[in-house]
Structure 1
């Protein structure tokens, strides 16, 4: 009689060897590499267009950069960090954390740095890759860990290139440009602009913030962890696990579930906190009204800051609400005719959040071109799989949980799901795996219907909304996301044997 061990050995002996390509060495790419190694699937290459790991945190080095998710939650569950300096750590610490994790797992030997993937084509049951250096690769599985916040969006403003001073996007911060005593203008009022204003107002000569849309500001203190607390975390890793899990539960039960139900008690509490923050901390009535949004709190991505209102009320700070007419060599001309003279212009104008794998050319089964498939807008079943693009899986893909959860927690759950699909390939139950068109259509219809009940559709313009005004994010609770990620519904996938 054959034993269970013998059966397992036979199955392993007949297992299909798989080669992988991971595109991107940011948070999700690092995660993917580590998890493949843990699974014994070490035949892979990570393709990274930059010269080091880090993704968003490598790209964004502007003054004040930080994550708006608590750091002990914005950490890999398998590599919690006892050294976070604050509840919300600065971006440089987050970048160092990712570099440390990559070094710990010796990932450099798997990564091709400075070699952007330009083309992926599915042919003969495998993916064929071409990079900017002319390198080619043939793999069985592609994991797209390309991220969301890495293609800067530049504003369409007349005369932008005529500015005679120093000008740059916040994600391309020029640290060689001095700020002390100079006249600095910031275009934008999202989280990035708010962080920059708070960080630099104390050193610049004059700061001008050009506001198109006012933002609700959720007050949030950012206490430092004491040496004793960090020592306790180092001595007892169980404390770190408990803290991570408690933050996850708190985040889910408060903010995460609040935004997907516009009538929830939690969203009412958030609205009150934002309103009280404005009313109690902005003394000048005209400035207070200029800073008052005309939409509900959390309709746009909520901005978290403990000191923005204090910063914008400094004597050397100015809020400009008149529309920008054009940029001139000397500064910014607004529609009221005023020229705001500047030495430095910062474009805190966000990212092309719908790019995902693009501009990489991706060609799937039977010549399906991703750019054409996504001509209207990017879609993927459960934000992971695209019909007609077999054995290609996305982390933090289109319409996923980007607006209300920790993206690390999201990516970990998604990768476990993906590995269950990979197992179908490895054990030869299928040669090709991709979502069906029917499954994607049904999921999209359900997602669009659920989105009608979220706070994101209560009357604002935001980068969450697609071309139809429908939030391009996960519209259900996080518990629903965990349930969906527990195991693939195989009837939703086309399995080619």
Structure 2
């Protein structure tokens, strides 16, 4: 199974945050025979796809960096999208990963044949690899709402992840459909610029108060001068306690953290929305955390701007002149933006992935996407996922998640590279037990408490990690090899 260079060949699918991490770690391990396939013309994943006004990560800037590559130059306490994209681009070049990326090469087929993976891209490029790392991400397939007449609008209309920067914004009548983090950020950015801005809300959100002050020149100079200070910013105990503690609150709705969170969000609403009618429209009727918490320093101020209006009547249809709500009102608009998120359950699909014995991923995932520990799928040997199905997703850094997953996967890569194993994949029994335990736990979390969110799969089962972050960190420390089927180079299958 050796490649032409005498080692193993690795194919990485996707050049977002996780794909760049994979490239850096492969080079660090001395494995230089690899290719990263990127469907677009540049890296970045969700930070490339999204470029809307107001784009900001809700994880503190210094926590949203690779552990080995702190950034002293963040401009604000919460990182703006363009700075995140620039950070990944700089890091890619610094660590030599750019030499391994094939741009405009979308992998459309990936089949395990004769002990190796055969890849094919849309352009017809082929490759053969011993290991495939699926770093395809979660938030990159735009989800459009099911609204009658969605193609009937006569003026500008696009998804927030397909922002058309040629379209003027100032002095126009703008409608924002969707009020998750994206919709909230866009409203905050455009309320004062639009002639009239209408925010169409299906359900109110829990919005946590947050501060997004700029770092001063003196602070950034100190980060440059003192590596220990910069490292302490990355590992801020206060942030980690909040982030990790929040995951424990999710699995215990009556915890003190959950009580404090709901109290802080309610106080934010009460203190910052003066109109009692508007305040009640903005008051959620479900538990905090059932949907992803929103952190915003200024949404409540923006939605009270004289140019802004919150629309809570359901949408009947879209017409050439605007949006008609179920009360019969036609909201005339010049621009409609769908801030309606992504299909977070597609992962590698629509890529045609074929495992051992001709098993197709579409068959394996007929009921729901599933991977043992969010990383390995039975019958798909030597295919390992970063941020795969049932991985932790929430109000914390996915970079840290990916780094912990890579540490786990690196054990398998070392075994294959050294010849101790030829094929490694989770067993059917391990995945079945894991899924039974996961689903049982998920149904008792806050995500299963009755709201509709992108955390839920097609059957309404919460699809994300249902245990604490501390439990995740412990599981990622060392793989439980008894959960995996190994094929050795010499004696065939073994447990």
What TM-score comes out, normalization by structure 1 length? 0.96
Picking from 335, 339, 358, the partner of 2:330 is 339
Deviates more, 1:269-278 or 1:240-249: 240-249
Are 2:476 and 1:485 aligned?
A: yes
Q: Which residue of 2 aligns with 1:219?
A: 209
Q: Which residue of 1 aligns with 2:406?
A: 415
Picking from 275, 280, 292, the partner of 1:289 is 280
> Cα distance, 1:16 vs. partner?
7.3
Q: Which residue of 1 aligns with 2:393?
A: 402
Q: Which runs of 5+ in 2 are unaligned?
A: 489-495
Alignment of 1:54-453 (within 5 A): 54-247=44-237, 249-453=240-444
> Cα distance, 1:47 vs. partner?
0.2
CA distance in 2, matches of 1:29, 1:41: 15
- For residues 132-158 of structure 1, give each alpha carbon's deviation from its aligned partner in whole angstroms, at most 9, with x where no partner exists: 111000000000000000000011111
CA distance in 1, matches of 2:361, 2:222: 50
CA distance in 1, matches of 2:189, 2:359: 47
Q: Which residue of 2 aligns with 1:12?
A: none
Deviates more, 1:486-495 or 1:242-251: 242-251
Aligned partner of residue 161 in structure 1, secondary structure: coil
CA distance in 2, matches of 1:65, 1:260: 30
Would the aligned equivalents of 1:16 and 1:425 in 2 still touch at CA under 8 Å? no
Change (3 A) 1:294 1:340: same
Would the aligned equivalents of 2:377 and 2:425 in 1 still touch at CA under 8 Å? yes
> Cα distance, 1:253 vs. partner?
4.1
Aligned partner of residue 336 in structure 2, secondary structure: strand
- For residues 14-52 of structure 1, give each alpha carbon's deviation from its aligned partner in whole angstroms, at most 9, with x where no partner exists: x97210000000000000000000000000000000111
CA distance in 2, matches of 1:143, 1:20: 7
Aligned partner of residue 270 in structure 1, secondary structure: helix
CA distance in 1, matches of 2:107, 2:63: 31
Q: Count how many residue pairs are aligned between Structure 1 and Structure 2.
A: 483
- For residues 293-315 of structure 1, give each alpha carbon's deviation from its aligned partner in whole angstroms, at most 9, with x where no partner exists: 11011110001101101100111
Aligned partner of residue 25 in structure 2, secondary structure: helix
CA distance in 1, matches of 2:439, 2:273: 38
What TM-score comes out, normalization by structure 2 length? 0.96
Aligned partner of residue 128 in structure 1, secondary structure: strand
Aligned partner of residue 63 in structure 2, secondary structure: coil
Q: Which runs of 5+ in 1 are unaligned?
A: 1-14
Would the aligned equivalents of 1:262 and 1:453 in 2 still touch at CA under 8 Å? no
Aligned partner of residue 362 in structure 1, secondary structure: strand
Aligned partner of residue 157 in structure 2, secondary structure: strand
Are 2:14 and 1:24 aligned?
A: yes
